[in-house]
Amino acid sequence: MRTRLTFAWAERELPSGIGTDLTGFLSRDNPCVGQRDSLSARAMYINDGRTGLVWVNVDILGLGQALVERIRTVASERHKMPPRSFAITATHTHSAPASLFLANCGIVDRDWNRELEDTIIGVIDDAVQARKKRVYLRFAQTDAPGYTYNRRTHTPDGKPLRDDTGQALDTRLSVITAHETRDSEPVGAIVHYACHPVFYRDSQISADYPGVLIEGVKADLGSDFPVMFLQGADADINPLRPTDDDEADARRMGSGLATHAIELIRDGEKGTRLTPKLNTRLRMTTLTWVRDPEVQEIEPHLLDAADWTRAEKVDQALHMWAKRALAAKTRGWWFSGLRVPVQVTCFGELIVAGAGVELFGETARCIEEAHSPRPVLTIGYANDLAGYLPPASEFEHGGYEIDTAYKYYGYPECFSPDAEETVRQTIDSILSVGTMAAPKHIG
């Protein structure tokens, strides 16, 4: 019996965020006063006759685990599919309305978040119910250098910040293209690249360079051509800024990446045709903290009412962290660590491994090496955004991602040095399940 893939697509614009607080930067002035470009939720539905998968991607900084679980529960019940059949990811744009807690980086508007939730559920409904096309999938990669740098090892102008700079910067752009079976025409694509979308710090909404990339692909292949962007292991990767013009630099990067993506989408000979078999698994794993800070270490960051009005934004953020950390200790929150989702999806031979954290390039390299020769895409911001997950090798270097960022997320401490290995071991364990093995050829 021949296995056939069917493919469907849907897209909805996110609710207007003008008047809400944007997130991503402590230094930003809020509330939002305008919109540079639109934000969207995009959903791909694909089925191999046995397994159905809905992949959703949203132009947002991140989606909290509780919100994702509510969406997954509703969608699972409504469409009679197991919860693991739904993967919900974010592009991580830093110019979107606040959708989760980040200390003093924008107040979450609960009404807007409810509309966001409804929009995501709606786009899932649209995709599952849309007209299906019979397709095959093709995976291709190309090198797209000149747009990024590792902010932990180099300055933007290329000067090394430390001695151990031997790890190569991953500048690969990857594309999964759906081709209609009857004529091999491309009918949809997923583009994967790793870089923080952080061009804009003003008070306007923007999808940042991923939005420009999608706009560029649609300009070439048609305004209705389905395309989504998946964010890679970008925790230590920032975009290059050749000029002082944010708009020009974002357009240079997004348009340049779009050109690479279009070449891969249009050239049906490049890359590998994937075996038409799908499988996906979702597990929760607990990440422990470096340590449990003492109350006397936290309390000095508290401000009284008079101090608050005079305090700098960073001191206000530390006050918010202290309040949250003390409440956590009192009420037993996160006592042994934090449970985060890890999801692995196999598109035939291709492994797509995602976790609800900000992953580093080193983590992606380790996952690839562990499962070679199968191709691997590593996805951050999948089903949650629980903060940075540094590899053990990064702790000796300290820095924002290790020493400071956890406070903005409101956690008592940074994840421990072995937490990153826990995620990799969870991925390994999922892939050890027989149904997740590389498939034999299916006719």
CB atoms within 10 A of CB 70: 14
Give the count of alpha carbons within 13 A of 153, CB side only.
18
Distance CA 106, CA 391 (A): 29
Q: What is the mean pLDDT of residues 192-206?
A: 97
pLDDT at residue 443 tops 50? no
Q: How high is the pLDDT of residue 243?
A: 94
Beta-bridge mates of residue 353: 344, 378
Distance CA 23, CA 128 (A): 31
Q: How high is the pLDDT of residue 441?
A: 60
Lowest pLDDT segment from 69-73, 152-156, 291-295? 291-295
Q: What is the mean pLDDT of residues 214-243?
A: 97
Distance CA 38, CA 271 (A): 32
Beta-bridge mates of residue 46: 7, 53
Q: How high is the pLDDT of residue 165?
A: 56
Beta-bridge mates of residue 278: 347
Q: What is the mean pLDDT of residues 428-436?
A: 94
- Strand 34-35 and strand 204-205: the pairing is parallel
Tell me the H-state helices in 267-347. 295-298, 305-310, 313-331
Who contacts 296 (Cβ-Cβ below 8 Å, separation ≥6)?
A: none
**Secondary element (H or E) of residue 5:** strand 5-13
Amino acid identity, residue 367? I
Percentage of the residues of the chain whose pLDDT score is greater than 90: 86
8 Å CB contact between 420 and 363 = yes
What is the per-residue burial (b if ≥16 Cβ within 10 Å, else e) of 161-191? eeeeeeeeebbebbbbbbbebeeeebbbbbb
Q: What is the mean pLDDT of residues 180-187?
A: 95
Please give the distance of CA 221 from its chain centroid, rounded to a whole number: 25
- Of residues 91 and 442, the one with the higher pLDDT is 91
- Of residues 219 and 167, the one with the higher pLDDT is 219
Distance CA 406, CA 284 (A): 20
Q: How confident is the model at residue 29 (pLDDT cuts 50, 70, 90)?
A: very high
Q: Which tens digit of pLDDT belongs to each residue from 244-266?
A: 999 999 999 999 999 999 999 99
pLDDT at residue 1 tops 90? no
Q: What is the mean pLDDT of the chain?
A: 94
- 3-state SS of 195-224 is CCCCCCCCCEECCHHHHHHHHHHHHHHCCC
pLDDT at residue 292 tops 90? no
**Dihedral sign, Cα of residue 243, residue 172, residue 379, residue 264:** positive
Q: Which tens digit of pLDDT belongs to each residue from 110-164?
A: 999 999 999 999 999 999 999 999 999 999 999 999 999 999 999 988 888 887 6
Q: How confident is the model at residue 309 (pLDDT cuts 50, 70, 90)?
A: confident
Q: List for the chain the helix, strand, coil content (%; round to 5).
A: 35, 25, 40
- Strand 338-347 and strand 278-287: the pairing is antiparallel
Is 369 in a helix, a strand, or coil?
Answer: helix
8 Å CB contact between 435 and 277 = no
- Calculate the alpha carbon distances from 362 to 30, 165, 346, 359 in Å: 35, 12, 21, 8
Phi-psi region at 271: left, alpha or beta (left = phi > 0; alpha = psi -120 to 50): left
Q: What is the mean pLDDT of residues 57-63?
A: 97
Q: How confident is the model at residue 195 (pLDDT cuts 50, 70, 90)?
A: very high
8 Å CB contact between 249 and 242 = yes
Percentage of the residues of the chain whose pLDDT score is greater than 70: 97
Which token pair is 358? Answer: 């900000």
